[in-house]
Each structure stands twice: as C-alpha cells, then as structure tokens.
Amino acid sequence: MTTTTATELGPLLDRVRAGREFGANVYSTLDVLQVLYDRVLRITPATVDDPDRDRFLLSKGHAVAGYYALLAARGFVPPEWLDDQGGPASRLGDHPDRTLVPGVEIGSGSLGHGLGLGVGTALGLRAQGRTGPRVYVLLGDAELDEGSNHEAIAYAGASGLGSLTAIVLDNRSATYGWPGGAASRFTVNGWSAATVDGRDHDALHAALTGHDDHRPHVVVTDGE
C-alpha cells in the first residue's frame, strides 16, 4: 500500500506548531488531506472562486494546523503566513475563517456546523444545475455526538443527496463511542459507506471516489 509519514507537510507543520503540541486530531488529517488535494478535489489556487469547483469543508476546525500546512504546500496561502498563526496580525486563527483565508470554504471551529452547510451547498449547486462539483465535508468521530449532524445525516440520506461525501476521521474520541462503528450511523440513513485505514493512500483514494452518485457517501477512517 502507498503510505506517507507526512514528510512533505512536516516542515510546514512545524512552522504552524511553533513549539506547541498537536494531538491525533491534527495528525490524523494529514493523509486524507493529501489524498484529497492531490488526487480527488478539482480545485487549485486559480479556481477558488470558480462556481464549478469541488468544495472541501473542514468541519472539525480545531484540527486546522494540517489544513493550513496543506494550503501553504499547494500554493493557496503564502508559507510565511504560517509563522505567526494565531497572532494578532495573522489571518490564520486557531479555527479557520473563510473570509480571511483563500481556498477555505467555511469558517468552522464550533463542532456540528460543517455537514449542514455542506448539505446546503450541495442543494444550491443542484438548484443551479451544476452537476459536476462534489462537496466533501471532513468531520471527527466525536463531532458526530452533535445533534445537528444527526439532522444532516438523516436528511441527506432521505433526499438522496448524491453529490455529498462526508469523511469521518475516527480517532475513538467520542465520549461514549459509536457501537457498530461510525459508518452504521450513516448507512442506516441510506448512505453508502467505506471504512478504510486512514494511512493507506490508495485505499483512501478508492474510498473517496467510491460514491455512486445516487445517494450520499461516507468514508470512515479506522484510526489509532
């Protein structure tokens, strides 16, 4: 299998880190972000305002460090921005703000908002007849505790929102866990699902492109 130790993002992540510690919630995002931006998403720094671009919504906004490193690596933001992340003159907060950071689709941080915004984005694209773009929303397993996500999962499944993909990074962070696995919460509501090793890039790529366009799709990573 193809794997990465995130060496490419390592130096950029160190600039964001500036002596702080990151937990699994940050490190678990690196592989999936690289696969998304390298092999899946149709978006570049030149197309951040193209209405037909794919949308990537980071719902777990507290895990933003890897996202900033990735955006710098792919040319969406200058790497120098990383050096004062969180500072008084910085555009990069501890949670991202879409109005301050090129390429960022939503301001997030408070858990449980990204999937609802993603559902609305998919509906808006559909209303405009834009059948090309897909909407990807990255969530954490603990974030699924929020009732707002249950509303979005149930509605997206019932309405067959085929352009929507949720990605759940399962770090076993949810206080009471999800018996039967996080994917079951989606499949019972009519989603297609794949559960994969979150470090295996080929498996991630297959899962992230495994939708059937007739129903929403979820990719759950089996984390450490």
Partner 1 sequence: MRDAFVTSTEEVLADPRTTVVLADISADAFEPAAARYPERVINVGIREQLMIGVAGGLALTGQRPVVHSYAPFLVERAYEQIKLDLDHQGVGAVLVGIGGSYDRAAAGRTHLGPADVALIDTLHGWTVHVPGHPDEVRPLLRDVVCGQDSAYLRLSIRTNSRAYPEAGDLRVVRDAGPGAPLLVAVGPVLDAAVAATADRAVTVAYTHRPRPFDTTGLRTLAGTEVILVEPYLAGTSARVVSEALADRPHRLLALGVGREDLRRYGSAEDHEHWHGLDAAGLRRSVDAFLT
Question: Interface with partner 1 by CB under 8 A: which residues?
Answer: 51, 97-99, 105-107, 110, 112-113, 115-128, 147-148, 151-152, 154-155, 158
**C-beta of 99 vs 175, nearer to partner 1:** 99
Nearest to 136 by CA among 199, 21, 75, 216: 216
Q: Please give the helix or strand (H or E) that residue 176 lies within, else none.
A: none
Smallest distance from partner 1 to CB 204, Å: 25
**C-beta of 46 vs 127, nearer to partner 1:** 127
**C-beta of 9 vs 135, nearer to partner 1:** 135
Could you give phi then psi for residue 49, rounded to 5 degrees? -110, 5
Smallest distance from partner 1 to CB 58, Å: 13
Q: Which residues are CB-contacts of 19 (< 8 A; sequence separation ≥ 6)?
A: none
Could you give phi then psi for residue 7, rounded to 5 degrees? -60, -35
Smallest distance from partner 1 to CB 124, Å: 3
Smallest distance from partner 1 to CB 5, Å: 35
**C-beta of 27 vs 186, nearer to partner 1:** 186
**Intra-chain end-to-end CA distance of the chain, in Å:** 18
- 193: its two tokens: 């699902």
